[in-house]
Amino acid sequence: MHELSVAESALKIARRVSAAHGNVKVTGIRLSVGSFDHLDDEALCFAFEMLADETVCRGAAIAIERHPFKATCGACGEKSESEGIAEVCPACGSAELKWEGEEATRVVSVDLDLPDVNEGV
């Protein structure tokens, strides 16, 4: 299950960031999902919740950023962007499209419940 491995690595990164700040609670994790990565958001959140239970990441909100697909037409050179992979160039109808996109799914940021907010608790 792909979502599980993404959730695992996100958790690992978030725990490392938390550890660097004295194991404070993680309140949110922002992920950038590669355009070609067919991740199921719900499955990812579910996997994360399961793994994060009993850790500093318990209850952390997962935010998922997606990027549009970008294509350059091999026939007319038209550059286009779309939410999903289109079959043909929107300008000339050629199927000679070269796709590019954010390749890797990665953690963009980790939000921490920093002690300066909760001082004295």
Contact positions toward Zn ion, by CB under 5 A? 73, 75-76, 78, 89, 91-92, 94
Distance in Å, CB of 12 to Zn ion, minimum: 43
**1 vs 95 by CB, closer to Zn ion:** 95
Q: How many CA atoms lie within 13 A of 41 on its CB side?
A: 10
Tokens representing residue 57 in the block:
């990441």
- Rounded CA-CA distance 104/32 in Å is 8
**14 vs 71 by CB, closer to Zn ion:** 71
Distance in Å, CB of 93 to Zn ion, minimum: 7
Q: How does DSSP assign 80-115, residue by residue?
A: EEESS--SS-TTT--S-EEEE---S-EEEEEEE--T
Distance in Å, CB of 70 to Zn ion, minimum: 14
- Rounded CA-CA distance 25/4 in Å is 21
Distance in Å, CB of 72 to Zn ion, minimum: 9
Bridge partners of 97, per DSSP, are: 73
**90 vs 115 by CB, closer to Zn ion:** 90
**43 vs 86 by CB, closer to Zn ion:** 86
